[in-house]
Amino acid sequence: MSEKIYGIDMGTNAIKIYQKGAGVILHQKNMIAVVNKKDPLALGDEAHSMYEKAPKNIQVKKPIINGVIADFTAMQMMIQMYFKSAYGKKLAEGLSAGGNSEFLIAVPTDVTEVEKRAFYDLIASSTLKTKKIRLVEKPIADALGAGLDVMDATGRLIVNIGADTTEISLISLGGIVQSRLLKIGGTRFDEAIQQAVKKKHNLVIGMKSAERLKMQLASGIKEEEEKTFDVMGRNLITGLPNRVTVTNHLIYEAMAESMSSIIDSIKFILEKTPPELSMDIMHDGICMTGGSTKIKNLDLLIQQETGLSIMKMDEPELTVVKGLGMIMENPQYERLANSLQESTFH
Ligand SMILES: Nc1ncnc2c1ncn2[C@@H]1O[C@H](COP(=O)(O)OP(=O)(O)OP(=O)(O)O)[C@@H](O)[C@H]1O
Ligand SMILES: [Mg+2]
């Protein structure tokens, strides 16, 4: 049987899978819909299409919250289904785990050992037959996938703004000098937008509508020119469906506080950076990854606030999983992946 190697980034919003030799083979919403509390009904993007629309007997779950596994059973069920069933085949050709399969799993750095271990156990205790499971620190994979040389003695600052989290990490010599995981990201922006629309327009909107407003109108810097986008929701007073026109200024105000928390944390890490590494960062600037860095002018805001240059990615959601790919494709990065059996847990 031919050996298959997979890299998995289980994000709060999306799951991404890389297969050795094939590249990124899956990028879907990290959601599962179950009926009667246990029977799987839909996975990924299909489950997301049911979110906020399902009747009571159908639950749409997000197994990862704040970057860690919140619903172990649901996450394991998803992984097993992706790899084993006809379902998996439909979503991505090639997904199958025989006795020879190896897994590289990206895990956040600034979480507890128990939370890290759960990512290992998820695969180890599943019905998938595996030869080896290794964990990779997310910021290292992220930096590799962003094209940074992580192995040399140069300080690199990487900021991944995802869905539930922002991970700010300082890397040098293939290791993490420091890393901070904030519970702020795209979801927090969406919630703030939901609240602002409710307060200003007496309109209750769903999270998907809030996200749509963000994608249309959000900006890291306050824009002079007014832009608008229409949104549907339920009027708080009449209880009836209603449509309102939302401005980019309302969206900016709603998101400002969360954006400045992210800036404060970046500054905090910069203040704690050893001077020799600071010099490197002054020279190379900050690398921004994660889906939320698609927000217009967010790079400009961070640049203005820190005085550092910003490097942006074309596919910022995929840097972590592409970095896992680089580790499995290039033997010189071998030492960046840890096998738990050989390391601290045993
Ligand atoms: N064009 C866009 N404008 C603003 N936000 C966007 C855009 N495209 C995607 N996003 C946001 O990016 C987030 C998803 O990014 P990503 O896939 O990096 O998150 P994740 O890895 O699942 O989450 P985490 O790393 O926090 O666990 C979502 O919150 C989504 O709303
Ligand atoms: Mg992520």
With a cut of 70, say whether residue 252 has pLDDT above it.
Answer: yes
- 342 vs 253, higher pLDDT: 253
Shortest-distance atom of ligand 1 to CA 12: 27
Q: How far apart are CA 177 and CA 269, in angstroms?
A: 10
If residue 190 lies in a helix (H) or strand (E), which one and from where to where? helix 186-201
**Angle made by CA atoms 63, 69, 72, in degrees to the nearest 5:** 70
Its CATH architecture, for the domain 151-312, is: 2-Layer Sandwich (3.30)
pLDDT of residue 345: 46
Q: How far apart are CA 43 and CA 83, in angstroms?
A: 12
How are beta strands 39-43 and 32-35 bridged, if at all?
A: antiparallel
Shortest-distance atom of ligand 1 to CA 316: 18
With a cut of 90, say whether residue 87 has pLDDT above it.
Answer: no
pLDDT of residue 344: 47
The gap between the terminal CA atoms of the chain, to the nearest Å, is: 30
The finding on whether 118 has its CB within 6 A of some atom of ligand 1 is: no
Segment 264-274 mean pLDDT: 96
With a cut of 60, say whether residue 318 has pLDDT above it.
Answer: yes
pLDDT of residue 29: 97
If residue 117 lies in a helix (H) or strand (E), which one and from where to where? helix 113-124
Least confident of 19-28, 60-69, 83-92, 140-149: 83-92
CATH of 5-141+319-342, one of 3.40.50.2300, 3.90.1200.10, 3.30.1360.20, 3.30.420.40: 3.30.420.40
Q: What is the pTM of this model?
A: 0.95
With a cut of 70, say whether residue 91 has pLDDT above it.
Answer: no
- Phi first, then psi: what are they for 136, rounded to 5°? -125, 135
Q: Which of 294, 314, 315, 321 to mutate to test the pocket of ligand 1 (most atoms within 8 A of CB)?
A: 294
pLDDT tens digits for range 204-250: 999 999 999 999 999 999 999 999 999 999 999 999 999 999 999 99
With a cut of 50, say whether residue 33 has pLDDT above it.
Answer: yes
Segment 61-85 mean pLDDT: 93
Total count of residues recorded for the chain:
346
Query: What is the distance in A from the centroid of ligand 2 to the CA of 167?
Result: 9
Per-residue tokens: 121: 């156990």
Which residues in the chain are classed under CATH 3.30.420.40? 5-141+319-342, 151-312
pLDDT of residue 1: 46
Query: What is the distance in A from the centroid of ligand 2 to the CA of 323?
Result: 12
Least confident of 67-71, 128-132, 147-151, 271-275: 128-132
Quickly tell me which residue has 């839909």 as its tokens: 42
Query: What is the distance in A from the centroid of ligand 1 to the CA of 130?
Result: 30
Query: CA–CA distance from 336 to each of 121, 296, 327 (Å)?
Result: 20, 33, 7
Ligand in nearest proximity to the CA of 64: 1
Q: How far apart are CA 7 and CA 37, in angstroms?
A: 29
Share of the chain above pLDDT 90, in %: 87
Quick check: 47 and 60 in contact, CB under 8 A?
Answer: yes
Shortest-distance atom of ligand 1 to CA 189: 29
Quick check: 231 and 248 in contact, CB under 8 A?
Answer: no
With a cut of 60, say whether residue 68 has pLDDT above it.
Answer: yes
Query: What is the distance in A from the centroid of ligand 1 to the CA of 209?
Result: 15
- 96 vs 312, higher pLDDT: 312
pLDDT tens digits for range 126-138: 988 888 999 999 9
Shortest-distance atom of ligand 1 to CA 64: 27
Query: What is the distance in A from the centroid of ligand 1 to the CA of 321?
Result: 14
With a cut of 70, say whether residue 346 has pLDDT above it.
Answer: no
Q: How far apart are CA 143 and CA 152, in angstroms?
A: 12
| Sign of the alpha-carbon torsion through 109, 115, 121, 123 | negative
Question: Which residues have a Cβ under 8 Å from the Cβ of 191 and sit 6 or more positions away?
Answer: 207, 210
* pLDDT, mean over the chain: 93
Q: Number of C-alpha atoms within 13 angstroms, CB side, residue 269?
A: 27
Q: How far apart are CA 212 and CA 197, in angstroms?
A: 13
With a cut of 50, say whether residue 192 has pLDDT above it.
Answer: yes
Share of the chain above pLDDT 70, in %: 93
pLDDT of residue 84: 76
If residue 265 lies in a helix (H) or strand (E), which one and from where to where? helix 248-271
* Beta strands per DSSP E along 2-111: 5-10, 14-19, 23-29, 32-35, 39-43, 58-61, 64-65, 68-69, 101-107
Quickly tell me which residue has 């990065």 as its tokens: 333
pLDDT of residue 37: 84
With a cut of 70, say whether residue 176 has pLDDT above it.
Answer: yes
